Amino acid sequence: MAPAQLGIPQIIWALGLMAIALGLSLWQRLGLEGRLLMATCRAVVQLLVVGYLLATVFTLRDPWLVLAVLGVMLLTATLVARNRISKEIPALTWLVGSAIFLSTLLTLTYVQLLVVQSDPWYEPQYLIPLAGIVLGNAMNAAAIAGERFVSTLKTSRLDLETHLCLGASPRQAVQQLRREAIQASLIPILNQMLVVGVVTLPGIITGQILAGADPLTAALYQMVILVMLAFADLVTALLVIEGIFRQSFNAAAQLTSSVD
């Protein structure tokens, strides 16, 4: 079946749902009107810009243009994750950006070479959507793991110093905090994997089915993507936590001021 075409009338009808939501907020005096309106306007503008931009990139199929798009996506993901973690840790932007970049590079290289096998490797139809999904999830994993680790380092400073005074190494002292932070960063993707196809149909499989793809093919793509995201999230969390850990202790095995 050919996918249903969406035009301006259909989009206006869809936005009617937000108009109803605004009316409900006013009626119930929730004070959400400004935020709902701002979020809707931003989403509409951003998606229209992205749609026209990607249409141009897909048409030109220039590798440098594709890499430029990915660079902007990486920079945005880095800044968002960094702002969620802390502004007191030295070189945190470089640390988070490197972790997201390396995890995304490893994931996409593996998938492009062994799974998708697109030709050429920079085929924007595959590379940009896959990179966007991985970057978005790696950003969330970095933010959750980093924020959890930094906050627990601050609240557990006395316990950590006690362990250090009793002869524990810095790595031994933070081992439990490190484990908990990494586990927390994987909760969203693990929950999604546990209920996919039973409770929810994720965006990829839903989008492909709406576009007329075979449901089994859509399910297989979703399977690949979930495995990609689990791997990328774990690698990102490991790298971010390791970087923050190295910044949190000095050469004398003492906690630095960045975790005060």
Give the confidence band of 2 by pLDDT, cuts at 50, 70, 90: low
Separation CA 246–CA 241 (nearest Å): 9
Q: For the segment 168-215, what is each residue's pLDDT rounded down to a tens digit?
A: 999 999 999 999 999 999 999 999 999 988 777 777 788 888 777 788
Does an H or E element contain 23, and which? helix 8-28
Average pLDDT on 206-232 reads: 88
Average pLDDT on 72-97 reads: 91
Sign of CA dihedral 166, 168, 170, 171: negative
259 pLDDT above the threshold of 80: no
Q: For the segment 117-154, what is each residue's pLDDT rounded down to a tens digit?
A: 988 889 998 999 999 999 999 999 999 999 999 999 98
Q: Which pTM was predicted?
A: 0.87
- Of 60-74, 138-152, 153-167, 234-248, least confident by mean pLDDT is 153-167
Report the C-alpha dihedral over residues 196, 147, 169, 156, rounded to 10 degrees. -110
Mean pLDDT for the chain overall: 91
- Of 25-29, 39-43, 250-254, least confident by mean pLDDT is 250-254
Per-residue pLDDT, 134:
96
Per-residue pLDDT, 1:
60
Sign of CA dihedral 112, 116, 119, 123: negative
Q: Residue 232: which of 115, 100, 112, 114 has the closest Cα?
A: 100
Half-sphere exposure (CA, 13 Å, Cβ side) for 143? Answer: 16
90-103 in b/e burial notation, b at 16+ Cβ within 10 A?
A: eebbebbbebbbeb
- Cβ–Cβ < 8 Å for 68, 91: no
